[in-house]
Amino acid sequence: MEFRQLQYFQAVAELEHVTQAAERLHVAQSAISRQIRLLEEELGAPLFYREGTGIRLSAFGKRFLPRALRILREVEFAKQDAEHFLNPEAGTVRLGFPHSVGVHYVPSLIAAFREEAPHVQFDLVQARVHDLMSALHDGDLELAIITPWEDVQTVPHLTGEYLYQEELRAILPSGHRCAEKEDIQLYELKDDPFILFKPGYTLRTLVWDACTAAGFEPNIAFEAEETDTIRAFVQAGLGVSILPMVGPRDAQGIAAVPICGRGVQRSVGIAWHSEAGRSGPAERFAQFVIQRARSHRKRN
């Protein structure tokens, strides 16, 4: 069964006339008659009854027509999808990111990108870094913001580009003894209750390792899955944390204090599957993010 046979069948069924169908499709009448005959032979049943100069659907033809139309529509949808996939001015980007990046970095990126490509849409997935890399590997995502960037090297066929190094700060209640300091030693928080991400989140591992390197294991009072929740618990005076800096140094009863020395940092990058093709919009967005990061590094 060929696509053109279904097209010819649709035209004849709608017009009930082979000659008129040939004129609509700009093909010879004999070509339409031959292809419909071949289709009937393949199906093993007549699709039309001939009545003088006209032609009408048979009982089987009436049953077959809706199926043929569905096939033709699906092919048309597939063609439209292909056009959107290749068109960098439209279509949808399937982008993943961890929550700790999504609360500040991703929104600003998309807002800036939409100024250049207002018709590109985004299908956003917020998940743990491990799950994001699995989704990239399996083809469920086209792009993902990954932190720490080095984790990309642990998954076969993933590649991408480093974007920037992000400083994490001590997040303290505004009434904390260290809230007014210009900076602090991480060891100064050894007796404070900590509010961290739950196990499985890369930011928890990073903070835990930084604390042990400073000579103590954090006393975990609460665990959460979102930075907003952690900040709310800090604001309520239930503990301290270490998070990316967002907004002013002291916001809504929270002080974000720099950590002395090399501090606590994490690398951020954008990743994709090295062997899977990216859509036009995804390729354009990836290059936009990379060039934006390179320009920022040059200025700093």
Q: Going residue by residue through the chain (300 aa), what tens digit of pLDDT does each one get? A: 888 888 888 888 888 888 888 888 888 889 888 988 998 888 898 998 887 767 889 889 898 999 888 888 878 767 766 666 666 677 788 999 998 887 778 999 999 999 988 988 899 999 999 999 999 988 889 999 999 998 888 888 999 999 999 889 999 999 999 999 999 999 999 999 999 999 988 889 999 999 999 999 999 999 998 888 999 999 999 999 999 876 544 467 899 999 997 778 899 999 999 887 778 888 889 999 999 999 988 886
Q: Are 259 and 186 in contact (CB under 8 A)?
A: yes
Return the SS3 of 242.
strand
Distance CA 87, CA 78 (A): 14
- Distances, alpha carbon 10 to alpha carbons 26, 39, 66, 90, 228, in Å: 14, 12, 10, 31, 57
- Strands 219-224 and 241-244, bridge-based pairing: unpaired
Distance CA 179, CA 250 (A): 9
Measured in whole angstroms, the distance separating CA 53 from the mean position of its chain's CA atoms is 57
For the chain, list the domains and their CATH numbers.
3-86 (1.10.10.10), 92-163+267-299 (3.40.190.10), 165-266 (3.40.190.10)
* Residue 128 CB burial class (10 angstroms; 0-12, 13-18, ≥19): middle
Mind listing the pLDDT tens digit for each residue in 107-121? 999 999 999 889 888
**15-28 exposure pattern, b = at least 16 Cβ within 10 A, e = fewer:** bebbeebbeebebe
Mind listing the pLDDT tens digit for each residue in 39-78? 888 889 899 888 776 788 988 989 899 988 888 887 876 7
| Triad 48, 51, 53: Cα angle to 5° | 110
